[in-house]
C-alpha cells in the first residue's frame, strides 16, 4: 500500500479565552496507521480531534485531511472520515437499526444494504430491532462504531473508545479495530488516557501533555531507550539506596517492600553489580525488567519525578 498522509496537522495553536490548550502541535497519520493519541485528562485530545474534524477552529496553523484543507475545503476533507467524538450519541428510544437509518439519511448516497453490512461488522445484527436503551455500554459503543462506518470511511476517529467498558467489552472493541484495520484497510486515530488499552493495537503512538506532543513514534521506537531497569531483591534497602544514589550511571531508584528498582545507563550492569558486591549488600536476586510503554508514559507525563 502506498503510504499516503491522511492527517497532517502543522503548527496548530488553540486557546480558549486566555488558556492555551494546544501548543504548536504537529502530527501526521498515514494510510494503514492505527494511531494511538495518548494523554492524561485535560491534555487536549478531544480538542485536537474536534479541530481535525473541523468542529472548532485553531487560532493558527494548518490542518489537512486526506489532502484537503479542513478550513477551505471542508466537504472534500470530511468525505472519507468517520468519527465518534466523546460518547456515541444514539437515541435511546429508537432501535439500533433506526439510529443507523437516521444517520444514513445525513448522507446522500448510502444504500439500504449498508446498514445490514455495518450491523454485521460490529456483530449487532441480532439486536438491531431492540431499543438502544436496552443495550449494554459495549453494545452502544459498537453501534457508535457502526455509525462511523456507514459512509465507508478511509479513516475513523474514536475518542476514548474503551472508556468505561468491562474487560470483555474492551477486548471486543480492540479486536474489532484490529479486524477493520487489517481486513478493510481502515486507518484509525484513537485517543485514550489509558495507555495499556491501546498499546497492543497501535502501530504508532503520540503522547500529548498539556497541549504539546512530547513524543511520537512506533511503539518499538518509543520503548528503545538508552537505559536498562533492574529489580534488586535485598534486605539491605537503605545501604543499597545510599550507595546507588552516588553512582553517576544510576538514573532513578524506586524502593519496594523487598528491594529496589533501579534504572541505569545501558551496559553498566557490571558496575552496579560490582558496587553492591564490594559493599557486601546481601542480594537475593537481580532481574532485568522490560520497560512497558505504561512506565514510559507515566514517566513522561509525571515529569520524571522519580529521578534521583
Ligand atoms: N469549549 C471549551 N471551552 C473552554 N475550555 C475548553 C473547551 N473545550 C475544552 N476546553 C479545555 O481545554 C483543555 C483540554 O480539554 P480536552 O477536552 O481537549 O482534553 P482531553 O485530553 O480530551 O481530556 P479527557 O481525557 O478528560 O477527555 C481543558 O483544560 C478543557 O477544560
Ligand atoms: Mg477528551
Q: Write the CATH number for 232.
A: 3.30.70.980
Q: Do 202 and 244 lie in a common domain?
A: no
Residue 83 in domain = yes
- Kindly give the parts of the chain with pLDDT less than 70: 1-2, 86-88, 303-308
- Tell me the ligand closest to 40's alpha carbon: 1
Q: Do 203 and 245 lie in a common domain?
A: no
- Ligand 1: residues whose CB is within 6 Å? 16, 21, 39, 41-47, 193
Among 14, 25, 45, 55, the mutation site with the greatest number of ligand 1 atoms within 8 A of its Cβ is: 45
Q: Do 148 and 192 lie in a common domain?
A: yes
Q: Do 42 and 68 lie in a common domain?
A: yes
Q: Do 122 and 239 lie in a common domain?
A: no
Residue 304 in domain = no
282 - beta bridge partners? none
The count of residues in the chain is 308
Q: Do 19 and 138 lie in a common domain?
A: yes
CA-nearest residue for atom 24, ligand 1, is 41
Beta carbons of 81 and 65 less than 8 angstroms apart: yes
CA-nearest residue for atom 1, ligand 1, is 16
Structural domain including 103 reads 5-223
pLDDT given at position 293: 72
Residue 19 in domain = yes
The number of the ligand 1 atom at minimal distance from the alpha carbon of 193 is 25
Q: Residue 30 has which C-alpha cell?
A: 498515514
Using the 3D structure, point to which of 177, 195, 223 is the last residue of a domain.
223
Beta carbons of 116 and 125 less than 8 angstroms apart: yes
Residues 6+ apart with CB under 8 A from 58: 12, 13, 14, 22, 51
CA-nearest residue for atom 16, ligand 1, is 44
Q: Residue 266 has which C-alpha cell?
A: 545501558
Residue 232 in domain = yes
Query: What is the domain count for the chain?
Result: 2
Residue 91 in domain = yes
Q: Do 179 and 276 lie in a common domain?
A: no
b/e map of 77-116 (b: 16 or more CB within 10 Å)? Answer: bbebbbbbbeebebeeeebbbbbbeebbeeeeebeeebbe
pLDDT averaged over the chain?
A: 90
pLDDT given at position 226: 78
pLDDT given at position 224: 73
Residue 70 in domain = yes
Residue 51 in domain = yes
Q: Residue 157 has which C-alpha cell?
A: 476517529
pLDDT given at position 2: 58
Q: Give 217-227 pLDDT, tens digit per residue.
A: 888 787 777 78
pLDDT given at position 307: 38
pLDDT given at position 87: 59
Using the 3D structure, point to which of 198, 223, 248 is the last residue of a domain.
223
| 172 vs 192: CA distance, rounded Å | 16
Q: Do 184 and 234 lie in a common domain?
A: no
What's the predicted TM-score (pTM) here? 0.80
C-alpha 37 to ligand 2 mean position (Å): 11
Residue 103 in domain = yes
Q: Do 213 and 170 lie in a common domain?
A: yes
Using the 3D structure, point to which of 202, 223, 244 is the last residue of a domain.
223
Q: Do 160 and 253 lie in a common domain?
A: no
| 147 vs 150: CA distance, rounded Å | 5
Q: Do 15 and 126 lie in a common domain?
A: yes
Q: Do 179 and 146 lie in a common domain?
A: yes
What CATH number does residue 86 fall under?
3.40.50.300
pLDDT given at position 306: 41
Q: Give 234-244 pLDDT, tens digit per residue.
A: 999 999 999 99
Amino acid at each position: 500500500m502506498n503510504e499516503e498522509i491522511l492527517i497532517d496537522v502543522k503548527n496548530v495553536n488553540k486557546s480558549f479565552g486566555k488558556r492555551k490548550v494546544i501548543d504548536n502541535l504537529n502530527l501526521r497519520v498515514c494510510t494503514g496507521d492505527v494511531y494511538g493519541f495518548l494523554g492524561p485528562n485535560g491534555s487536549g485530545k478531544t480538542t485536537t480531534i474536534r479541530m481535525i474534524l473541523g468542529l472548532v477552529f485553531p487560532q493558527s496553523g494548518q490542518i489537512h485531511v486526506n489532502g484537503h484543507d479542513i478550513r477551505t475545503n471542508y466537504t472534500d476533507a470530511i468525505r472519507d472520515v468517520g468519527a465518534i467524538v466523546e460518547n456515541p450519541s444514539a437515541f435511546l428510544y429508537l432501535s439500533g437499526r433506526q439510529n443507523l437509518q437516521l444517520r444514513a439519511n445525513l448522507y446522500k448516497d448510502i444504500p439500504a444494504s449498508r446498514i445490514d453490512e455495518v450491523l454485521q461488522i460490529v456483530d449487532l445484527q441480532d439486536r438491531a430491532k431492540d431499543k438502544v436503551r436496552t443495550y449494554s455500554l459495549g453494545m452502544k459503543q459498537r453501534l457508535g462504531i457502526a455509525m462511523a462506518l456507514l459512509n465507508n470511511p478511509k479513516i475513523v476517529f474514536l475518542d476514548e473508545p474503551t472508556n468505561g467498558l468491562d474487560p470483555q467489552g474492551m477486548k471486543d472493541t480492540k479486536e474489532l479495530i484490529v479486524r477493520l484495520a487489517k481486513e478493510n484497510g481502515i486507518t484509525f486515530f484513537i485517543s485514550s488516557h489509558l495507555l495499556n488499552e491501546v498499546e497492543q493495537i497501535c502501530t504508532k503512538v503520540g503522547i500529548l501533555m498539556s497541549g504539546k506532543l512530547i513524543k511520537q513514534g512506533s511503539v518499538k521506537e518509543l520503548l528503545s531507550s538508552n537505559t536498562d531497569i533492574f529489580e534488586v531483591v535485598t534486605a539491605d534497602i537503605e545501604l543499597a539506596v545510599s550507595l546507588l544514589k552516588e553512582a553517576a550511571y544510576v538514573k532513578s531508584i524506586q524502593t519496594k517492600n523487598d528491594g529496589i528498582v533501579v534504572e541505569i545507563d545501558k551496559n553498566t550492569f557490571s558496575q552496579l553489580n560490582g558496587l553492591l558486591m564490594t559493599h557486601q549488600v546481601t542480594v537475593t536476586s537481580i532481574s532485568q525488567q522490560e520497560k512497558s510503554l505504561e512506565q514510559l508514559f507515566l514517566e513522561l507525563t509525571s515529569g520524571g519525578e522519580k529521578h534521583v
